[in-house]
Amino acid sequence: MPTTATPPTADSLRDLTRLLQAAEGFRALADALRAGRSGSVDGAWGSSGALATAALGQHAPRAVLVAVAHPRDVDGWVSDLHTFSGERPAVFPAWDSSPGESGAADETATQRLRLLKQMGRGEAPRFVVTTMQALLQPVPDRERLNQGRKVLRAGEQVDPDELARWLVDHAYQRVDAVELPGEFSRRGGILDVYPPDAEAPYRLEFFGDEVESIRQFSPETQRSLGALERAEITAADVERSTQYSVLRTQPPPPAGHLCDYLPADAWTVLVEPDDLREQAKHYLERVSQGPGMFSVEGAFRQLLRFPSVTVTALPGATVEATCHLRVESVERFTGDVTRVTSSRWSASPAT
């Protein structure tokens, strides 16, 4: 009686990372990266680049930053890395509007700030996916990020009038009812504030100048999400102000780079470096590079501060450790991975 092959499951797709580690040059590549050197992966068609990155992630001490050329490729890389590694990558997005067009409520500002603060606390995700456009854009340096915040604790003395002025001075919008990040409201002894990087707004109840209680609440239902001992309020303009100055004539504030927030032992993955350079040049031509914006070479220097891997479909001349992939057919995995049956992988044996 004929047997039917079992379709691959999510677990079996993750098992492909072990198969790929038998590919020609993979062991030498991983050894080179651990020794602080660089290397390359070629033959990376379709999803195989993400597969190779997921396999390398098993050897990386901590974070792996993946740089792709096109914003349209981000979702595919996130999906594939999640499928092959079992870990959901974080995304560091680029500003896609002109400086000043969006306020603190912009979802991009929220996502960027949350990731910067997470990495600043030493909690970098295993995988971070970003675009060349985002790598050209400055971020607040660590000092500015730390200075642009207030930590409020229950029971301490805080003048609510001074706090309201601080919020206005740092680009918060005063409204009747808080709904979006970057907004605050005040009604008698109650001050609601929604920091751009917070999961939910805070409600501060004052008795005179004393912070009597701190709670987070749902902006939709106004229901309390629980009492807190402290609240960290990040300035709504701490990230966007760096962007404001990029295309303007005033001197920019001290600017940093995303790579400044990576752990010292992070690895970087440059997907199709020629495409990265080309897209970077086109972007700088569109926005007219100004003070604060990184040059193409400046962004590459930031990436190459770390052990790095170039991932390409076609082989190139190199003296670095190289892993050669042989992929017969790989389609981008979407939807129910248990239905993916048409892709077949082969790896060159290690020599």
**Residues 170 and 67 occupy one common structural domain:** no
User: Which of 1-5, 56-60, 302-306 is least confident?
Assistant: 1-5
Residues 78 and 96 in one domain: yes
Share of the chain residues as helix, strand and coil, in percent rounded to the nearest 5: 35, 25, 45
Give me the pLDDT at residue 283, please: 92
Residue type, 165: R
Distance CA 114, CA 199 (A): 9
Q: How far apart are CA 56 and CA 85, in angstroms?
A: 10
- pLDDT tens digits, one per residue of 193-219: 999 889 999 999 999 999 999 999 999
How many domains does one find in the chain?
A: 2
CATH of the domain at 84: 3.40.50.11180
Task: With H, G, I as helix, E, B as strand and everything else as coil, classify residue 214.
Answer: strand
Q: Of the residues 234, 259, 291, which one is the last residue of a structural domain?
A: 234
Asked, for residue 12, whether it belongs to a domain, the answer is: no
Q: Which domain holds residue 310?
A: 23-143+240-347
Residue 79 maps to a domain? yes
Does residue 28 lie in a domain region?
Answer: yes
Q: Within 13 Å of residue 257, how many CA atoms lie on the same side as its CB? A: 19
* Residue 17 domain flag: no
The answer to whether residues 105 and 155 belong to one domain is no
Instruction: State residue 351's pLDDT score.
Output: 36
Give Cβ neighbours of residue 66 (< 8 Å, ≥ 6 apart): 53, 77, 81, 89, 127, 128, 129, 130, 268, 269, 271
| Lowest mean pLDDT, pick from 13-27, 151-165, 299-313 | 13-27
Q: How much is the pLDDT for 288?
A: 67
User: Using one digit for the tens of pLDDT, what is the confidence trace for 214-267?
Assistant: 999 999 998 999 999 999 999 888 776 555 444 444 555 557 999 999 999 999
Q: How many CA atoms are closer than 13 Å to the CA of 87, on its beta-carbon side?
A: 20
Contacts of 174 (CB under 8 A, 6+ apart): 164, 167, 168, 183, 184, 185, 186
Q: Which of 181, 213, 234 is the last residue of a domain?
A: 234
- Compute the average pLDDT of residues 62-83: 96
Q: Would the pLDDT of 97 be above 70?
A: no
User: Are residues 64 and 208 part of one domain?
Assistant: no
**Residue 168's domain is classified under what CATH number?**
3.30.2060.10
The tens digit of pLDDT for each residue in 279-320 reads: 999 999 888 655 578 999 999 999 999 999 999 998 876 657
Residue 201 and residue 88 in one domain: no
Question: Is residue 127 domain-resident?
Answer: yes
**What letter would DSSP give residue 210?**
E
Within the chain, where are the H helices?
Answer: 10-20, 26-34, 48-57, 74-85, 107-120, 132-136, 142-147, 160-169, 240-244, 273-287, 296-303
Q: Are residues 185 and 161 in the same domain?
A: yes
Residue 108: helix, strand or coil by DSSP? helix
Domain C-terminal end among 234, 266, 293: 234
